[in-house]
Structure formats: structure tokens, C-alpha cells
Amino acid sequence: MREVRIGMGRAAGGIGLALLAMMLAPAAALAAESAAVTSPRVSATLLSSRDAVAPGERVQLALVQKIAPGWHTYWQNPGDSGEATRIEWELPDGYRAGPIAWPAPKALPVEPLVNYGFEGTVLLPVEIAVPETAKPGERLSLKAKATWLVCEKICIPEEGVFALDLPVAAQPLADAAAEARISAARAFLPQEAGFRASLSAAGEALTLALPGLPADAGKVHFFPVPDTLIDHAAPQPMTRRSEGATLQLARSSAFKIADSEIAGVVTFDQNGTQRALALSVAVDPALVGASASVSASPAVPRLPAPIEGADLTLWSALAFAFLGGLILNLMPCVLPVLFIKALGFAQLAQASRLEAREQGLLFLAGVVATFLLLAGLVIGLGALGSSVGWGFQLQSPPLVIALAVVMTLIGFNLLGAFEIGTSAAGIGSGLASRGGRLGAFMTGALAVVVATPCTAPFMGAAIGFAVTQPPALGLSVFAALALGFATPVVALSFSPGLLALLPRPGRWMLVMKQAFAFPMFATAIWLIWVASVQAGPSGVLAALVAVLAAGFVVWLLGISRGTGRLRPVPTLLAVLAMLGAGWFVAQSAVPGAGNEARAQDAQAWTPQRVAALQAKGTPVFVNFTAAWCITCLANERVALSRQEVKDAFAKLGIVYLKADWTNRDAMIAQALAEHGRAGVPLYLFYPGRSAAQAEILPQLLTPDSLIAAAERAAGREAKTAAFR
């Protein structure tokens, strides 16, 4: 017994020492490095080269970003898109933080753009000056808030707060490992070039002279600090000279130079080693204050009429509708549902041709019926005086939440979390049974419901024509749109040769089925975000409660399986859960509740505001948009949020108005109808003349097209006056 006690005592002592070591270890680590801020994309820490600082010294710190494969953060000039990492410091009185010492960036192609940034692990060094008045025994408690944008095919803003608490001592105490890492990072910073570069005009292009560039330099690339200088995606051909070399650079469409000297970095290979030089570039005086000319931006074809689709014939509208329906299959909001249909065809690969054709025709029936139902509601309610448009169902937060629940349940069904007969999407055994037929029809219907937030090329003009015609002609255009949308799936079902190419059912099908769950979850997340924009935080809460209630109902139905009859208690609980969740959603998801909290980068649109601005001679850009419109969000990210577009609007005096149709708005619906549209997006440029007609821009925007349209709107009155 005594031996047991001794053993337990030794064990307790060992545990105590271990706990003491664990308590002391983080304290020691935190002296040189902060706690990590971690996401699936970036793990960031603040690293110090000192465990203790001394009065009057300059302490080397670094923000360390460990970036996941495939993702990147940005340099001080992010290139065509992105945002540079920023650090805000909270320091005691007398302490000063210097700027970030930027490493040389990489050119990161993101077709058709090129960004400047970093991959892998990057250290961003910063120097902290300790005042002479700092006294040994005091403590340096510093805090840094860093923000960065991390991008792959999507971009996610992230931030972190980092804290370090370092003692002040008579002599500095170095952290050898941290000091070595920061010193190595500083050693690879761009070195001063030792020569002065110069920038001059060469027609519409630019010439960068590098007189001291080594003769054996290869793969030379120039990264300017100003972001309005060059076209970042354009090649930079090099010409050797007797002294150094020159690079030919393409001007940015938003070209602007305000200073006679600019900074930049030139990178090159030398004997297999990557080198970077920090440049000071003298700018030709003729370029200072210059900006892009109107001819530098490609012109956008003007539509022949102010109402899109007004000049179409019935046959051209039918053709536009069919093409728009075909292209709609490529839109991201539709792909998750089409994945399910593709899996259904994979299971039919070894079935009879009759079964495959039946599935394709039922999918077609679901698409056509839903398109005509929605179109009939739009046309019918419009005839009764109600202001509704294409995609109107997604202006209802309860319906958006219901769709999010459906997508979530389909996702868990695909993962095998539950099985209740044949799934809503027609997946599972017995595709030729009654459940399989219903599943094929409902897949077509669901595809149409989630497709309405997207607008494909040709669709806007076709729908604009349809809503201005008698009901029979309008429905025929929507029927053509439905036929175009369903054609790829129907063609596959009637192509036994293509189906025969698919492998026989096996484990790969189970893996594919499970993989298709994640696009469903992604769609559910997007729908919940739409609900948050429509109804604020209460909309998110309502959506999560609805998902919880749906899961509870599915579980109750699952435990009743196999009895041959419904159990009264689980059935009653399921009904109560559905009624309670429905009541909560109806009470919580109130349209408009989230509008006040939504950050706007534009003024609110009203027709009176447009008229008042035009009367003052001010050109106006109006963006008719909605949070549930995927095309709208893509255009805002790719074009409207770009800095060169904002700079052009500011320079030309363009006032940017936004008409947000996320929730129902009769005034916006009326304005859309006046321009031949039943839905968003719609982009208008009004010139600075009273009652002048607006120019309708294409549904897919680019920065150059926006800038060119802005220049036309701003300069139209001057040009007209010049010819008088």
C-alpha cells in the first residue's frame, strides 16, 4: 500500500512539474511572438526580435503570414484588384512605429487580371523606435490591429489583433531564433538600385529606362508603387541598351501621375538567383498631371433605343431568349442543382434508353412549368398594378430561408445523413419509380427557382421585350427561355452514346454523390447571407432556427420509419416544430430590417434625385442591383469597386446612385419597367443635361467600359455645344 502511495505521490509531483512547465512555456513564447490568429486561409502572428528592449534602440518586429496553398495576400500596390495589408498600432507615449518594409511581390495572374502579392509564408518587417526616456523596469505593452485581404478565386477580408508585452532593460535581450528570421527577411528586401530610373512617353505606351540594370539580368519585371500607372496584365518587353535596358509598359486605362518622382521595384533573375531592386523613377514633366485620354478606353456600343429589347421583333426575342437560357446553365447559382441531375444521369447510364428519355422530358416539364408559372405571375400581377419583376420570389425573406432549408436538407441527404424514400432531387434507387419521376420534375422546378437571381447575356433584352407584349406573346418568350435552359439536360438524356461513356455504377458514384453535397451547402450559405441583407441579424437567426427545426422534423420522421404507420407523438411534435418555426420566421424575417445596417458606397437613388442632378449639369450613374443577384455582385467586385473606376467618377464629377431592389420596392420596379426590364441588373448613365435620355450599359461590366461610358456622359454636353 505504501508503494502505491509513493508511486501516486511521484506521479502527482511529475504532473505538477509538467503543469508548471506548461504555464511557464507560453509566457516565454509570448515574449517574442504573439498568439496566432488563424483561419483556414491564413495563420498570422506578430514576431519580435527582442525578449527585452533597451532605451533608444530600434526593435525589429514582423507580421508573419502563413498563407494556405492556392491563396495569396497583397503588396502595397495590389495590382488589378485586392487590398494591401495594413497595421494600426497602439503604443505607449514616446514609442513610434515605422512603415511596413515590403518584400518584393510576385505577379499573380487571375485571368484576365494580374495582381501583386505573396504566397506561402511572408514576413512584413516593421521597426519600433524605443524612446531614450524609457526606463529599465518599465514594460512595453504594444497592440497591433492588422487587416488583410486573402484571395483565391474568391476574396475574404480578415483581421487580427496582436499583443506583445516586453520588459524594458538596461541592455537589450535578443531572441536568437526570432532575430534570425527577421534578419533573413530584411536581407531579402529590395536593395537600393544605385542608379536612377526614368519614365517617359512613347506614344500611348511608356518607356522605363534602367541604366544600371546588370547585363545578365533576365525575366525583368517592374512593379510600380502607384496603382494608376500601368496595365498590370500587359507584357513588359525589354530592350538591351549600351547602358542597362528599357522596358515598354502599357498605360493604365486610369493613367494618372501626380508627382515628378515615383517609387517602384524591379525584379530579375541573375545567375539563377532572384533579385529585387528598389527604384526611384524620375518622371518626364510632360507626364506629370496627365491622365488617360478618351481614346485609351475602348468604346462600348450604344443600344439603338433607350429601352432594352424595345427594338426586337418577336422572332429575334425568341432567339435571344433561347440563347440566354442556354447560357444560364453556366451561371453559378444554377450549377448546384444541375450537379444533382448529372448524378441522376450517371445512375441511368446502364438503364434503358426509355428511362433516360423519360427523366429528361420530366426535367423539361419541371423547367417549362416553373418558368411559365413565374412568368405568368409577373405578367398577371403587373396587369393588376402590382410592381413585381423577374426574381420577385427572392424578395421574400421567408421564401429565401425556405430555399436555404431545402438546400441544406438536400446536402445532408446526399451525405447519407438520412434517407426518406427517394430524395427531392431524384437521387437513389428506383429512378424509374413514381418517386424518381417526381424527383426529375422537381429538380427542373428547383433549378428555375434558384436560376432567377442570375441574368445571362441576351436574357435582359428578351425579358424586356416579353413584359411589354400581350400575355400570349410574353409567355412564348419565357417558354423559349425555358427550352434553352433545359436543352443541355434533354439532349444528354436523348444521347445514349454520351451516357454509355459513363462508367458503371460503383463506389465512385457514392463519392460523387457525397461531393455534390457541398455546392448545396454553399448555396444555402449564400441564401442565408441574402436573408441577412434583407432582414438583418434577425433574418440570420430565423434561417438558423428554420434549419434546426427542419433537422428535428427529419429526425422525427426517421424514427417513425419501418412501423408502417405514423406514430402520433412524433408526428404531433413534427407538426408543432414546423408551425413554430414558420411563425418565428414570419415574425423575425421582416423585409427591410437589414437595410439600415448595410454599408453603402453610393447615394440612394430616386427619380427626383436624378432630375435634380441633371438640372445642375451633373452626369449620373445609376446601379439597379440586389443582394440576391449574382451577376450584380460579380459586376460590383470586378468593375464598380475598382479604384480606377472610382477615380474616374471623381475626376469626371459623376454622381453614383444605387437602387437596391433586394426587398420589394414599387418605385424601382416601375423604373425597371420604363427601361424594358423585369429584373436586375440595370446600369444607366445620364448625361448632365435636363431630361436627356440615359445610356443603357451591358449587363456584364468591365472597368474600361465603365470609364469610357463615364467619359461619354461627362463630355457629351461639351461636345454638343462645340458643334452649335
Tens of pLDDT, residue by residue over 563-576, are 555 566 666 776 77
> Given pLDDT bands bounded at 50, 70 and 90, which one contains residue 95?
very high
pLDDT for the residue numbered 701 = 86
pLDDT for the residue numbered 23 = 36
Q: 37 — phi, psi (to 5°)?
A: -105, 115
pLDDT of 25 strictly over 50: no
User: Cα dihedral sign for 278, 283, 289, 291?
Assistant: negative
The beta-strand segments (E) located in 100-176 are 106-110, 113-118, 121-129, 139-151, 155-167, 173-174
Q: Of the given ranges (389-398, 426-435, 643-652, 673-682), which has the lowest mean pLDDT?
A: 426-435
The beta-strand segments (E) located in 243-296 are 245-250, 261-270, 273-283
Q: Of the given ranges (452-466, 473-487, 514-528), which has the lowest mean pLDDT?
A: 452-466
What cell was used for 224?
510600380
- 670 and 711 in a single domain? The answer is yes
pLDDT of 101 strictly over 90: yes
* Domain contains 109: yes
* Domain contains 669: yes
In whole angstroms, how far apart are CA 58 and each of 49, 113, 131, 294, 440? 10, 39, 9, 50, 69
Please state the domain count of the chain: 4
Rg of the chain in Å (alpha carbons): 31
- 205 and 270 in a single domain? The answer is yes
In whole angstroms, how far apart are CA 594 and each of 388, 454, 539? 21, 22, 8
Q: Which H, E and C letters describe 370-431, residue by residue?
A: HHHHHHHHHHHHHHCCCCCCCCHHHHCHHHHHHHHHHHHHHHHHHCCCCCCCCCCCCCCCCC
- 73 and 157 in a single domain? The answer is yes
Q: How far apart (Å, rounded) are the C-alpha atoms in residues 386 and 12?
A: 77
- How many helices, marked H, and strands, marked E, lie in the chain? 19, 26
Residues 26-52 have pLDDT tens digits of 333 344 789 899 888 899 999 999 999
For residues 364 and 436, the model is more confident at: 364
- DSSP bridge pairs for 191: 277
- 510 and 430 in a single domain? The answer is yes
> Given pLDDT bands bounded at 50, 70 and 90, which one contains residue 433?
very low
Range(s) of the domain holding residue 374: 314-396+420-517
List the CATH number of the domain containing 703.
3.40.30.10
pLDDT of 150 strictly over 70: yes
- Strand 205-210 and strand 197-202: the pairing is antiparallel
DSSP 640: I
Cβ burial of 488 (10 Å; 0-12, 13-18, 19+) is middle
pLDDT for the residue numbered 297 = 35
* Domain contains 60: yes
> Given pLDDT bands bounded at 50, 70 and 90, which one contains residue 288?
confident
In whole angstroms, how far apart are CA 299 and each of 194, 302, 634, 707, 709? 43, 9, 21, 9, 8
pLDDT of 303 strictly over 60: no
One-letter amino acid identity for 599?
A
- 76 and 132 in a single domain? The answer is yes
Q: Which of residues 481, 496, 517 is at a domain's end?
A: 517
pLDDT of 664 strictly over 60: yes
Q: How far apart (Å, rounded) are the C-alpha atoms in residues 194 and 560?
A: 81
Q: Which of residues 268, 296, 324 is at a domain's end?
A: 296
DSSP line for 37-95: EE-SSEEEEEEESEEEB-TT-EEEEEEEEEEPTT-BEEEEEEETS----EEEEE--TT-
pLDDT of 425 strictly over 60: no
pLDDT for the residue numbered 564 = 52
* Domain contains 440: yes
- 156 and 276 in a single domain? The answer is no
The count of other CB atoms within 10 Å of the CB of residue 323 is 18
- Strand 682-686 and strand 620-625: the pairing is antiparallel
* Domain contains 161: yes
pLDDT of 384 strictly over 70: no
- DSSP bridge pairs for 270: 273
- 330 and 284 in a single domain? The answer is no
pLDDT for the residue numbered 337 = 61
- Residue the block writes with cell 449639369: 617
DSSP line for 306-342: SSTTTT--HHHHHHHHHHHHHHHTTSTTTHHHHHHHH
- 245 and 362 in a single domain? The answer is no
Q: How far apart (Å, rounded) are the C-alpha atoms in residues 627 and 638?
A: 16
> Given pLDDT bands bounded at 50, 70 and 90, which one contains residue 389?
low
Average pLDDT, the chain: 75
- 676 and 703 in a single domain? The answer is yes
pLDDT of 607 strictly over 80: yes
pLDDT for the residue numbered 77 = 92
DSSP reduced 3-state for 228: coil
- Residue the block writes with cell 436560376: 451
* Domain contains 413: no
pLDDT of 668 strictly over 80: yes
* Domain contains 6: no
DSSP 296: G
- Closest alpha carbon to 378 in 624, 682, 698, 673: 673
* Domain contains 350: yes
Q: How far apart (Å, rounded) are the C-alpha atoms in residues 464 and 671?
A: 12
Could you tell me if 684 and 697 are in contact, meaning their C-beta atoms sit under 8 angstroms apart? yes
pLDDT of 11 strictly over 60: no
- 211 and 270 in a single domain? The answer is yes
List the CATH number of the domain containing 234.
2.60.40
Q: Which of residues 136, 160, 188 is at a domain's end?
A: 188
> Given pLDDT bands bounded at 50, 70 and 90, which one contains residue 461?
low
pLDDT for the residue numbered 74 = 93
Q: How far apart (Å, rounded) are the C-alpha atoms in residues 32 and 14?
A: 28
List the CATH number of the domain containing 80.
2.60.40.1250
Q: How far apart (Å, rounded) are the C-alpha atoms in residues 666 and 673?
A: 10
- 264 and 167 in a single domain? The answer is no
The beta-strand segments (E) located in 582-661 are 603-604, 620-625, 655-660
pLDDT of 7 strictly over 70: no
* HSE value, Cβ hemisphere, 13 Å, CA-based, for 309: 31
Q: Which residues of 200-211 are buried (b: 16+ CB within 10 A; e: fewer)?
A: eeeeeebbbbbe
pLDDT of 144 strictly over 80: yes
- 435 and 361 in a single domain? The answer is yes
Residues 63-92 have pLDDT tens digits of 999 999 989 999 999 988 778 999 999 999
